[in-house]
Amino acid sequence: MGADKITDKPLDSEVQDELVSDDENIANSDLEQTFSDTVKALSNKSIKKIRKWNNEAFLYAFDRQLISFGLRLLLFLPGFAILTFFGAWAYANSSPDWWDSFIEPTLNQSFSTILVALVFVILLGYILALALHRHRVNLTIRSFEQEVKAAQSKHLSIKSLHGYEPLEDSIKRSVTKHFFSLVSSLLAISALSAIAFYGIQSDMGKNLLALSFSLTMLSLGQHIATRSSNFNMAERTGLLEAYSSPVHPSTLDMVFSDLVKSQLDPLLRSEYERFVKDVETYVKRGVEPRFAREKMMMTFYKHSQGLDLSSVYSEFGEILTKAGVEFIKNHEVFTIEEWLQIIDYIESQCPAFFRMIGRIEEDLSAGRKSIKDEIIFEVDMENVVYGKANLFTYMHNLSDETRTVVLRVQSPDFRPHDIAMTYRLKPGEKQWWPAEGVPLSQSGDDDILAIMSALLRDGTVAWQSLLPERFGEATVSVRLEEVSGELLIGSQMNVRIRSVFKERIRVASSLVFNIIGLAGTIISSTLLTFIIV
């Protein structure tokens, strides 16, 4: 038999060493796990930060509060830099006495040199703000293109809709101006940096300062031109301000629906048409879809005027099934908040229409009959006209026979000077005009919401755009005539034609800054060429 292996180390000591070794391995593994968790946490945090700066909603909120609006850094920073340029130029050869006596011995720098350094810091902040703004605009364009592609994949012809090409051109022009503004600012800070090699007191330094000033003016002029086209894709209504409707129907078939479609941008309009088609599938039996659509839009409008949500959903319940009401409540695009923004925008664009139907509503609530020769006739346009005037006319035949009338619009101050349109007014229902006042909203169809929806559905609304020829006081005459020329009802309106003051200031300042910047850049570059040669 073999002899057992004899060792001098006790058994308890071996067990203890093994336990210590196991503890060390566990500690090392825990340390490695902690380190990997820390790395993962830091990487996730970094990824979140990167994603945040690629999030259009975050950048748009930042842009709206600090950069483009709010503090308006894109206007304040270059404006302050321009003032500092003048100071650096004025003290290029000599510093103020107080600077020579107290500060220059300590800093060993002239007053103009410190001002140039201050301009450098300001321009650096301006470039950073401009780069963030341009990055946000690029994200908006990317989202816009993705939405268009997504709509085309759903067989929605976005590009063929009226207004798509002008909207796309407006966005592209804005991007081009942002690019030139950023390039000009980068060239301006490069010219300013070159002063450090030549000194502000030298001719080269002074010409470089003038070149930097001119490029800053040019950058500011390019940016100011983009402020008239404000758009984003972070909000559903973000393209409305950049969109200008090129055409609209002269006679509104479905009044509220046609008015809304004429003001929505192409992307939102395609979504609206899908929304309306889906809503019509939930219309109750016995309710006409056209009436349901007009009442739905009228209810949204009244909600924007203060009608509470419970009454809104109650009115929807009279024309839609429960599933339809829930569909409107939970729609992912056209939420109640979005409708409030859309109607508020349309009301700002076409105030005459809402003022016109407001007078009819007042007559209904008071029980007054604004009827002459069995015709309801209302007309309105803006009291103060900017750019173009929107003339709205409402006609409703309450007789038992079809009537042919001529709507004539005449004005020496607007183009076209004379408009004559012939309308065949079908017999309307007298029951829609109550004999006494009615409430805004109640159960059934004996309220203003239902009556106004029916009046808009059965009546005729004409919408004419008039182009002013001069500024100042203007007169517009509207006549409703028989075919023979006999006057039925007439109205004359006096309005004031003005230009948009903010737009004039914006255009004028952009033009001045661009001219000064371009001329200064050419002159400074020429002088620098002569100095170098």
Residues 179 and 213 in one domain: yes
Residues 448 and 463 in one domain: yes
Higher pLDDT, 365 or 341: 341
Residues 363 and 489 in one domain: yes
Say if 285 falls within a structural domain.
yes
Residues 84 and 221 in one domain: yes
CB under 8 Å to 513, separation ≥6 — which residues?
Answer: 217, 218, 220, 221, 224
Q: Residue 373's pLDDT is what?
A: 66
Residues 90 and 128 in one domain: yes
Question: How far apart, in Å, do the first and last CA atoms of the chain sit?
Answer: 107
**pLDDT of 5 strictly over 50:** no
pLDDT band at 4 (very low <50, low <70, confident <90, very high): very low
Return the minimum-mean-pLDDT range out of 244-258, 283-297, 435-449: 435-449
For residue 463, the domain's CATH number is 2.60.40.10
Say if 504 falls within a structural domain.
no
Residues 148 and 179 in one domain: yes
Say if 254 falls within a structural domain.
yes
pLDDT, tens only, 46-87: 556 667 778 889 999 999 999 999 889 999 999 999 999 999
The last residue of one of the domains, among 299, 328, 349, is 349
Residues 207 and 300 in one domain: no
How far apart are the C-alpha atoms of 478 and 410, rounded to whole Å? 7
35, 38, 39, 44 alpha-carbon torsion, rounded to 10°: 160
Say if 18 falls within a structural domain.
no
The last residue of one of the domains, among 302, 322, 349, is 349
Residues 391 and 374 in one domain: yes
**pLDDT of 32 strictly over 70:** no
Residues 305 and 420 in one domain: no
pLDDT band at 6 (very low <50, low <70, confident <90, very high): very low
Of the chain, the percentage scoring pLDDT greater than 70 comes to 87
Distances (CA, A) of 134 to 109, 190, 227, 320, 399: 36, 20, 13, 45, 61
Residues 345 and 355 in one domain: no
Higher pLDDT, 216 or 445: 216
Residue with tokens 């088609």: 277
Higher pLDDT, 206 or 244: 206
Section 285-311 average pLDDT = 91
Positions of E strands within 51-112: none
Distances (CA, A) of 225 to 80, 183, 220: 19, 16, 9
pLDDT, tens only, 501-510: 888 899 999 9
Residues 66 and 181 in one domain: yes
**pLDDT of 431 strictly over 60:** no
Question: Domains in the chain: how many in total?
Answer: 3
Positions of E strands within 240-339: 251-252
Q: Residue 1's pLDDT is what?
A: 44
pLDDT band at 2 (very low <50, low <70, confident <90, very high): very low
Domain of 210, in residue numbers: 56-234+512-532
pLDDT, tens only, 436-471: 677 777 776 777 888 888 888 888 999 999 999 999
Say if 20 falls within a structural domain.
no
pLDDT, tens only, 99-109: 998 898 888 89
Say if 296 falls within a structural domain.
yes
DSSP secondary structure code for residue 237 in this structure: T
**pLDDT of 35 strictly over 70:** no
**pLDDT of 196 strictly over 80:** yes
Mean pLDDT of the chain: 87
Of the chain, the percentage scoring pLDDT greater than 90 comes to 56
Say if 19 falls within a structural domain.
no
**pLDDT of 207 strictly over 60:** yes
Section 519-530 average pLDDT = 93
**pLDDT of 313 strictly over 80:** yes
Residues 127 and 224 in one domain: yes
pLDDT, tens only, 167-191: 889 899 999 999 999 999 999 999 9
**pLDDT of 411 strictly over 70:** yes
Determine if the pTM surpasses 0.75.
yes
Say if 300 falls within a structural domain.
yes
pLDDT, tens only, 386-407: 889 999 999 988 888 889 999 9
pLDDT, tens only, 472-503: 999 999 999 999 989 999 999 999 999 888 88
The last residue of one of the domains, among 282, 315, 349, is 349
